């Protein structure tokens, strides 16, 4: 029993493809197809469990009802949760998510971008690691429906959903200092994206405000290629240099560090304070205690969806830049 097409159905019912197509698309009344014919078609379709071929429809209509969701790592809870929210928002509109993880790799990102565009996704939502890439430039040039989130390149005008990084990080770090931290290290992924740079700026700003001397040695950079090992090494360095607080620029390394602390430095978990950008549920009961900056993921998803829908409906992009305020979670 091979798959039936509209043609088969039309043939078997002694009707034309057009009539069948109209009825299936609920244009039966509008197109003045007789009730009788409509019923005949609908009944038959149900009986043989006809399934329309979306690919053919997509080709014809130049629209796939698919959104590409491109992030560094879909299994990172931050991206996974946003993905889930996007899926929910798009569900009622009949859009689905095609996912891709770039591993913070510029080449892979470019490849995925191209593949997704070839697959004719209707829009892209991406946390890019290289907004200046040629692929992205040419997408922007043709006004491809595109929204960036989590990462920004101030030199590139586009749609962005971002959170405020600098002040938020400053506030979090100041909070730690107020709670008595005196020597604060920082661990970050390679800060070649703007948001990380700003978070580091915020850290520096807090030190300055609170009259704590800034020490370049206390800023530790973890290479994107082996995050686990890198975090382990840098955390060790900081602990041996006697810090009483460690600031992390994203959840991924913070989570790894919490694990490391509980595994190798159990005796210190009560004497060190953590500060992390991005919140994850387990911070609520983790040791070391974590002051975190929670990004409003529901808003990020909501605005992304809205902008995309706006573009898709109006066919023109306005290059909105939305900056959301994250929430400081203290846990003192």
Residues 6+ apart with CB under 8 A from 101: 71, 72, 73, 74, 75
| 15: partner contacted, choices a second copy, DNA, none (Cβ within 5-8 A by kind) | DNA
| 31: partner contacted, choices DNA, a second copy, none (Cβ within 5-8 A by kind) | DNA
Q: Please tell me whether residue 118 binds a second copy under the rule CB under 8 A.
A: yes
Q: Please tell me whether residue 312 binds a second copy under the rule CB under 8 A.
A: no
CA distance 241 to 122: 51
Nearest to 23 by CA among 1, 64, 52, 61: 52
- Concatenated DSSP letters of 109-120: HHHHHHHHHHTT
Binding mask 2-21 for a second copy (x = CB under 8 A): -x------------------
Q: Please tell me whether residue 31 binds DNA under the rule CB under 7 A.
A: yes
* CB of 50 or CB of 194, closer to a second copy: 50
* CB of 96 or CB of 108, closer to DNA: 96
Q: Tell the smallest beta-carbon distance from residue 140 to a second copy (Å).
A: 13
Answer for the pair 147, 127: CB distance below 8 angstroms, yes or no: no
Q: Tell the smallest beta-carbon distance from residue 43 to a second copy (Å).
A: 17
- 3-state DSSP assignment of residue 65: coil
* CB of 81 or CB of 299, closer to a second copy: 81
Q: Among 66-74, 183-191, 222-230, 246-254, which window interacts with a second copy (CB under 8 A)? A: 66-74
Chain residues 221-240 in contact with DNA, contact rule CB under 7 A? none
* CB of 11 or CB of 81, closer to a second copy: 81
CA distance 56 to 46: 20
Q: Among 11-19, 84-92, 122-130, 209-217, which window interacts with a second copy (CB under 8 A)? A: 84-92
Structure tokens at 105: 């790799």
Chain residues 39-78 in contact with DNA, contact rule CB under 7 A? 52-53, 56-57, 59-62
Answer for the pair 127, 74: CB distance below 8 angstroms, yes or no: no
Chain residues 4-23 in contact with DNA, contact rule CB under 7 A? 5-7, 10, 14-19, 21-22
Burial 305-332 (b: 16+ CB within 10 A, else e): bebbbbbeeeeebeeeebebebebbeee
């Amino acid at each position: 029993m091979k798959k039936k097409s509209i043609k088969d159905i039309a043939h078997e019912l002694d009707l034309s493809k057009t009539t069948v197509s109209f009825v299936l698309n609920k244009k039966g009344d509008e197109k003045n197809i007789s009730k009788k014919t409509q019923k005949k078609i609908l009944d038959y379709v149900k009986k043989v469990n006809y399934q329309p071929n979306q690919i053919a429809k997509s080709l014809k209509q130049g629209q796939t009802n698919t959104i590409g969701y491109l992030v560094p790592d879909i299994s990172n809870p931050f991206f996974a949760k946003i993905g889930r929210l996007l899926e929910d928002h798009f569900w009622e509109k009949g859009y689905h998510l095609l996912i891709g993880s770039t591993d913070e790799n510029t080449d892979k990102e470019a490849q995925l971008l191209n593949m997704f565009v070839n697959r004719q996704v209707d829009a892209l939502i991406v946390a890019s690691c290289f907004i200046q890439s040629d692929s992205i430039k040419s997408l922007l040039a043709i006004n491809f429906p595109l929204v960036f989130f989590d990462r920004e390149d101030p030199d590139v005008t586009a749609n962005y959903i971002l959170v405020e990084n600098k002040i938020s990080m400053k506030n979090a770090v100041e909070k730690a200092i107020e709670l008595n931290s005196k020597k604060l290290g920082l661990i970050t992924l390679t800060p070649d994206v703007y948001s990380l740079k700003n978070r580091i700026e915020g850290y520096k700003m807090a030190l300055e405000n609170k009259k704590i001397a800034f020490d370049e040695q206390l800023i530790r950079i973890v290479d994107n290629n082996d995050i686990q090992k890198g975090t382990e090494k840098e955390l060790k360095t900081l602990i041996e240099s006697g810090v009483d607080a460690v600031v992390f620029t994203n959840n991924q390394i913070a989570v790894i560090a919490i694990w490391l602390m509980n595994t190798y430095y159990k005796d210190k978990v009560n004497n060190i304070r953590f500060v992390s950008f991005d919140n994850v549920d387990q911070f609520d009961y983790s040791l070391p205690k974590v002051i975190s900056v929670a990004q409003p993921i529901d808003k990020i998803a909501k605005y992304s969806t809205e902008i995309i829908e706006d573009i898709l409906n109006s066919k023109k992009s306005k290059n909105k830049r939305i900056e959301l305020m994250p929430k400081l979670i203290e846990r003192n």
